[in-house]
Every structure is written in structure tokens, then in C-alpha cells.
Amino acid sequence: MSGRREDKVVHLRTRSPELGIHLLAEWYGCPRSETLRRADTLRVVCVQLLRESGLQVVSSLFEQFQPSGVVGTLVLSDAHIAIHTWPDTGFVALDFYACHDTQNSRAAVSRVLAGLREVLRPVWVHTTEVNRGVTESETSEP
Amino acid sequence: MSGRREDKVVHLRTRSPELGIHLLAEWYGCPRSETLRRADTLRVVCVQLLRESGLQVVSSLFEQFQPSGVVGTLVLSDAHIAIHTWPDTGFVALDFYACHDTQNSRAAVSRVLAGLREVLRPVWVHTTEVNRGVTESETSEP
């Protein structure tokens, strides 16, 4: 794999802007860093990035798995983040769900993901974007 | 909305079976129950359903929002669940990510969701199924 390969982004279901946005990211080829391996380090990095992006962390839960690997979740006032790391293969599965799909929330999500990407340095990124919730017309009777 | 309307299920990206499976569910028209409103009640219900389905809960984090609404996450040994409830509108956004897409994990996820659905009783359900991780051929150079 080369570092120059372009990211792949898949967009699913464009809906009205008041609905939620969910990014499902797969990051490949992350170097075996302390942040990838250690729950406490990854938690500090995530909380700091969220705060710097103006997002309020209500609480977080990070679990260390043996021999290595982390599962972490962060609850925000109107969002959640979940991250799974596999240091042996350099794979990371990352979720960011924001209940409201606004320009502000999109900008904040982008800042957090860009910051975390700088830290974990994946070689290749695959992102699926899903709008959560469906419009009124879809929930009413046909 | 009528209770007889058929569920809508969207399947995205079918991949090899060793990769993860992620269900993103939107549940509409849930009655305003204690389980929908109260973080502690919802946590007990989720943990019990997971245990009954043979899944090991490592830890959980449930936050009560005011005036009502819950955000909860549960970390499992190779999975996570996230749930957001809006009691005022009867809307629930539910995520279940299992790192390995096996027959066993699919059966367990189905049992948990079926059990939770019996408790929260949504009128209409929209589920998006995303296979997480991409195959080796997609991560190698073209």
C-alpha cells in the first residue's frame, strides 16, 4: 500500500439537514503507536481533540483488550463516538454519529477526524457516510 | 402510521464473512415508556438482553439527558452497541457493530434487537446494514 492512494468516500441517502449524520470510517495501515495500543492514551487524545473542536464530552468509556487493542466510546451532548483498534494489523474502525446534521456539527466532526488521523496516520482511509433518521414522508403511510 | 407497515431494510456492501457487521437502526413511534425515558432502566434491559443472547458485556455507559432522553453505549468483547432515545418523538437511533460477521454473531445481534424491539415497541423500523472493513483486494494497490 502507498501513502498516496486517494481516500474512498461513499455517501448514502442524502436527506434533509435536520436529521443526523453518521460517519463509519475504516482506517488501514496505522503504525503501531502508543495511541493505537493503549486505552488511556487514546482516551486522552480523543477527549482533547473533541474539546479543541468545541464539542462537549459528557463521558467516556475506554477498555483495554489483551494482548492489545482498544474499544472506546464517548458520549457527547448530542452525539457519540466509538473506536475499535487492532494494533497488530493497524486497522481502526471509527464511528461518529451526530444527532443533528448542521454545518457546525459537520465542521466539528471533520476537525476531530482530521486531528485523529494526524495522530494515528492511516495509510488508507475508507469512509461511509450515512444520514440517520428518515424524512417525514417516509415514515407516513404510503 | 400503522403498526402493519413492513420494515424497511437496506443492505450495503456484501463482503467476505470474516469482516465486521454494523446495523444502524431507526425506530419510530416508540411509546413513552420508562425504558425509553430512563437511563438506568434502559441499561438494565440492554444488559439483560445481551446476557440472555450469550454476549459478554465488558462495560456500559448510560447518560440521562434533561428533560428526557438517553444516550447509552455498551462495550462487548468484540462489539459495541450505542442507543439514543428521544421520548418526546418516540424516535430511537440504535447501532450494533460486531467486529466479526459470523453466523453466531448475526444470530446474537438478531436476538438482542428482537428483544429490545419487544420492549420499546416501535411502530416502524428502518435498518441499514453495513459490512465494516473492506477486503484485501480493496486495500492493495490497483
Is A67 contained in some domain? Answer: yes
Give the pLDDT confidence score for residue B51 in this predicted structure.
95
**A52 Cβ contact partners less than 8 Å away, ≥ 6 residues apart:** A111, A115
Residue A97 CA to residue A22 CA, distance in Å, equals 4
Is A25 contained in some domain? Answer: no
| Closest Cβ–Cβ partner in A73, A91, A134 for B61 | A73
pLDDT at residue A136 above 60? Answer: no
- Cα separations (Å) of A21 from A42, B15, B59? 23, 24, 26
Interface ipTM: 0.84
Is B58 contained in some domain? Answer: yes
Grid coordinates of A84: 475499535
Report how many domains make up chain B. 1
Is B137 contained in some domain? Answer: no
Nearest to B73 by CA among B97, B101, B37, B104: B97
Grid coordinates of A76: 457527547
Confidence of residue B12 (pLDDT cuts 50, 70, 90): very low
Distance to chain A for B111, nearest Cα, Å: 22
- The predicted model gives A51-73 an average pLDDT of 94
If interface means Cβ-Cβ distance under 8 Å, which residues of chain A face chain B?
Answer: 1-2, 5, 12-13, 20, 22, 24, 26, 28-29, 58-61, 63, 65, 71, 73, 75, 77, 80, 82, 84, 91, 93, 95, 97, 99, 124, 126, 128, 130, 132-134, 138-141
Residue B116 CA to residue B92 CA, distance in Å, equals 11
Is A82–B63 a contact, with Cβ atoms under 8 angstroms apart? Answer: no
Is A21 contained in some domain? Answer: no
| pLDDT tens digits, one per residue of B13-27 | 433 335 888 999 999
- The predicted model gives A11-32 an average pLDDT of 73
Confidence of residue B133 (pLDDT cuts 50, 70, 90): confident
| pLDDT tens digits, one per residue of A118-135 | 999 999 888 888 888 766
Which domain does A45 fall in, by range? 30-71+79-92+100-131
- The predicted model gives A37-50 an average pLDDT of 97
Find the CATH number of the domain harbouring B49. Answer: 3.60.90.10
For every residue of chain B, which 3-state class applies, written as one string? Answer: CCCCCCCEEEEECCCCCCCEEEEEEEEECCCCCHHHHCHHHHHHHHHHHHHHCCCCEEEEEEEECCCCCEEEEEEECCEEEEEEEECCCCEEEEEEEECCCCHHHHHHHHHHHHHHHHHHCCCEEEEEEEEECCCHHHHCCC
Is B5 contained in some domain? Answer: no
Structure-model confidence comparison of residues B91 and B135, the more confident one: B91
- The predicted model gives B77-83 an average pLDDT of 93
**A39-B98-B11-B45 Cα dihedral, nearest 10 degrees:** -100
Grid coordinates of A104: 457546525
Is A3 contained in some domain? Answer: no
SS3 of residue A23 by DSSP? strand
Is B11 contained in some domain? Answer: no
- According to DSSP, the β-strands at A70-76 and A79-86 are antiparallel
| pLDDT tens digits, one per residue of B32-76 | 999 999 999 999 999 999 999 999 899 999 999 988 899 999 999
- The predicted model gives A37-43 an average pLDDT of 97
pLDDT at residue A103 above 50? Answer: yes
pLDDT at residue A40 above 90? Answer: yes
**A48 Cβ contact partners less than 8 Å away, ≥ 6 residues apart:** none
Distance to chain B for A18, nearest Cα, Å: 14
Using a cut of 0.90, tell me whether the model's pTM lies above it. no
Nearest to B42 by CA among B78, B6, B85: B85
